[in-house]
Structure 1
Amino acid sequence: MKKSYISSIIAIGIFGIINTELGVVGTLPQITQHFRISVSQAGLLVSLFALVIAIFGPFMTLLFSGVNRKNILAGVLAIFAISNLGSAFAPNYTVLLLFRILPAFLHPVYFSVAFTAAASSVPKDQSTKAVAKVFTGVTVGMVLGIPITSFIGNQFSLESSFLFSAVINAITCMSILSWIPSMPVKEKMSYGKQLKVLVKPQLWLNIATACLIMAALFAVYSYFAEYLGKVTNMKGTTISVMLILFGASGVYGNIQAGKLLSKSIVKTTIFYPLVLGMIYLLIFYAGTYTIPMIVIIIAWGVVFTSGLIISQTWLTSEASEAPEFANSLFVSFGNLGVSLGTTSGGWFLSQMGTHQIIWSGVLFLMLAFICIGLKIRLFDPKRDKILLVKNITSNE
């Protein structure tokens, strides 16, 4: 199989894992009825999953850093398939919770290895495009995973929704074993050498930027349906269509972001908060009008998913000597950003109203932009001056 297909197979695995993580959101009402539990208890299936990722991500990646990448990818998907199979036939809520939490420990391991494996499977100048293709799996999983799982659960049964994820993970696992060549770790880095990247202050500025960009994204996106329903006055079916439109445009955004990053990581990252900020302002001032909002949603989808790969590339670019560990940091702090953004957006919504959640996202973008500026000015002043001169020249 051509190396160009490796990223596609890995991306399907990403979809299966994201669908396992977030797809359950679409079946929470059925879970509460089936196991006779409260909504808050059912919510633990999502929140504990994310908490395990955030806390244990880097440590689990370090633990498996010397294992053949092909074996890691296939092994993690096998565990996820078994987990979903167990969830489908869980006799009670406690067993279901255990089957949900256990694979969460390996979630960041797959992500970390997936990004590294995709980048290393192609020439260096095409690595960002390969990673962008993997991020397509994230986009599809995030945007379509929930409605697909919800549809299967409603049309068939709760068990069927878990079996759907199990089948996706199992098929991808077999595809990796059959078609992806062995990917041994040629030179295993010591734990100390990988952890050493954490002493770099510039890395922490990149981590803060990535975390804040993720927070900016989810401070608004988490309340996508709420905003369209309350502010734009769209109905449930229309909102579902908008969600699909958002996801479809997001796939295009991944591809374009990969191209831009391959030309200049710094320029792309600098301009990203500004572009997303403009989108947010358009949402705020034109969000009450249906037709303009549809156009904005298309642009929002493109820019939204671009933020995933841009923040990942910005963070890992400062720790290229330990790529898998750096990717695990992105997964962990990215999840932290999601939690931070969702919580902040919820506060703005409850205290100021649905229309005002936009300002939560804008606030995080301003903080991210400050971190980017500090990183460039403090640790790469020459590059900062070169960029400034180029921008002035191009404007003239």
Structure 2
Amino acid sequence: MTTTAVSKTSPKTRSRHVALAIFSLAMGGFAIGTTEFTMMGLLKEVEQGLRISTPEAGNLISAYALGVVVGAPVFAALGAKLPRKQLALGLMLFLSIANLSSFIAPDYGTMLISRFASGLPHGAFFGIAAVIASSLVAPTKRGWAISMVMGGLTIANVIGVPVATWLGQAFGWRLLFIVVGVIGLTTSALMWKFVPFEPAPPEASIRRELGALKRIQVWLALLIGIIGFGGFFATYTYIAHTMTSVAGMQEALIPLVVALYGLGMVAGNIVGGRIADKSVMGTIYRVLPAIAVALVAYAVAAHWAWSALVMVFVVGGIGSMLVPPLQTRLLDASPDAPSLASSLNHSALNVANALGAFLGGVVIAWGWGYVAPAIVGSVLAVLGLGVAGISGWLERKKPLAA
């Protein structure tokens, strides 16, 4: 199905084609979200299975995040001259194979390498998926289209992550990687059928894509994500330990906890996409202080099971509201190099992942307790707001190019 063919169909048929294409791309996000976030819910099982400490298990999450950081710009630049559909398909197949390698990894060192490899296609896939989705809708609906693609990742936290967490607890944590491999292969088939083919832009090149790195607003948007979103991951990485050791919940309830977190992420992603279409920077200015307040409230509420569950939903929702405006901001800051700029958002968010997991592990190792990462995260959100203020001030002096 080509874009030309779609344009000749009725508006209703075209709308259905667009919906199926975006759904296919969102399925890729579902696979990625399942492999990324289930590890956090199964952290205790991973520690026992590999006979490692909690901070060492946190390093597996950091290894995945660093894979995203490295893979996003590399794959986006090298794939600049490829048709977007083929690039997305290749990245999803890579993800499936890498997860299957994690299933057979025999020891901690090998698992670190395989988790790093699993993260390599993450950012580039979301980047190219956001570009494809944006190209299928009117400019005034870009935030919505991007949020729908990211919705696959957030829905994974409602369905994929709780189910995979339960399977991991019941039948062994390595089963997670088989589940993700199967989802990835299914996603590839859906994209092959429903995502329209578009030839690579004739002016596309590695040099053109790398030109995005020359723009100060691109770097500031990335820094907002790295710093401001770090607290989200500092909290989520150790959520299983917080719920069991601080809130006093049974381990069997952890799938419910991650499902609530996921429901919050779904709601936040949808709201963030809608309000980003009205004001990108305005959304960022409002969400970052809300994250700071929510994380402090979470640190207090985590001492009681009922209030901990409420704040798990709230933190997931408010944190996820930041993703669509950041993605849109990067597209606005580098319109002639959209693939790399869009991919770099996920590099930034996974630097935040690595930073959050690391800092959370540090304060836990210092003996500050499992609620301390949330306090660290609150400080990071305030610092991210400061970076956003600098970005807005520079834009008022020199507006972004059309």
TM-score normalized by the length of structure 1: 0.84
Shift of 1:124: 1.2
Which residue does 1:118 correspond to in 2?
133
- Give yes or no for contact 1:277–1:365 (8 Å, CA) kept in 2: yes
Cα gap change, 1:160 to 1:298, in 2 (>3 Å): closer
Q: CA offsets, 1:2-31, max 9 Å, x none?
A: 202222111111211333445456667777
- Give yes or no for contact 2:158–2:260 (8 Å, CA) kept in 1: no
- Residues 306-325 of structure 1 mapped to structure 2, 5 A cutoff: 306-325=321-340
Shift of 1:104: 3.8
What secondary structure sits across from 1:2 in the alignment?
Answer: helix
Which residue does 1:268 correspond to in 2?
283
Cα gap change, 1:48 to 1:197, in 2 (>3 Å): same
* 1:39 correspondence with 2:52: yes
Q: Aligned pair count?
A: 380
Query: 132-141 vs 256-265, which deviates more?
Result: 132-141
Which residue does 1:68 correspond to in 2?
83
Cα gap change, 1:38 to 1:333, in 2 (>3 Å): same
Instruction: Select which of 300, 305, 320 maps to 2:320.
Output: 305
* 1:180 correspondence with 2:195: yes
- Residues 289-304 of structure 1 mapped to structure 2, 5 A cutoff: 289-304=304-319
Distance 2:346 2:62 in 1: 15
Q: CA offsets, 1:190-245, max 9 Å, x none?
A: 32222222222232222211111221211222222333334433333344323212
- Give yes or no for contact 1:206–1:315 (8 Å, CA) kept in 2: yes
Shift of 1:278: 2.2
Which residue does 1:278 correspond to in 2?
293
Distance 2:105 2:256 in 1: 35
Distance 1:299 1:30 in 2: 26
Shift of 1:314: 3.1
Which residue does 2:381 correspond to in 1?
365
Distance 1:160 1:321 in 2: 42
Structure 1 gaps of 5+ residues are 384-396
- Residues 8-19 of structure 1 mapped to structure 2, 5 A cutoff: 8-19=23-34
Larger radius of gyration: 1
Which residue does 1:390 correspond to in 2?
none
Cα gap change, 1:267 to 1:24, in 2 (>3 Å): closer
* 1:349 correspondence with 2:364: yes
Q: CA offsets, 1:111-146, max 9 Å, x none?
A: 211111111111111111111011112223356544
Distance 2:177 2:97 in 1: 10
Distance 2:310 2:58 in 1: 33
What code does the residue aligned with 2:271 have? Q
Instruction: Select which of 347, 366, 369 maps to 1:332.
Output: 347
Distance 2:96 2:117 in 1: 12
Distance 2:97 2:299 in 1: 44
Cα gap change, 1:356 to 1:97, in 2 (>3 Å): closer
Distance 1:43 1:140 in 2: 23
- Give yes or no for contact 1:27–1:149 (8 Å, CA) kept in 2: no
- Give yes or no for contact 1:210–1:312 (8 Å, CA) kept in 2: no
Shift of 1:344: 1.7
Distance 1:191 1:372 in 2: 29
- Give yes or no for contact 1:57–1:332 (8 Å, CA) kept in 2: yes
Distance 1:190 1:337 in 2: 29
What secondary structure sits across from 1:320 in the alignment?
Answer: coil
Query: 358-367 vs 306-315, which deviates more?
Result: 306-315
Structure 2 gaps of 5+ residues are 1-15
Cα gap change, 1:172 to 1:359, in 2 (>3 Å): same
Which residue does 2:69 correspond to in 1?
54
What secondary structure sits across from 1:66 in the alignment?
Answer: coil
Cα gap change, 1:302 to 1:51, in 2 (>3 Å): closer
Cα gap change, 1:226 to 1:45, in 2 (>3 Å): closer
- Give yes or no for contact 1:219–1:342 (8 Å, CA) kept in 2: yes
Instruction: Select which of 102, 108, 129 maps to 2:123.
Output: 108
Q: CA RMSD in A?
A: 3.0
Query: 152-161 vs 59-68, which deviates more?
Result: 152-161
Cα gap change, 1:364 to 1:86, in 2 (>3 Å): closer
- Identity among equivalent positions (%) equals 25
Query: 190-199 vs 171-180, which deviates more?
Result: 190-199
Which residue does 1:392 correspond to in 2?
none
What code does the residue aligned with 2:354 have? S
What secondary structure sits across from 1:130 in the alignment?
Answer: helix
Shift of 1:99: 5.7
TM-score normalized by the length of structure 2: 0.83
Distance 2:249 2:47 in 1: 27
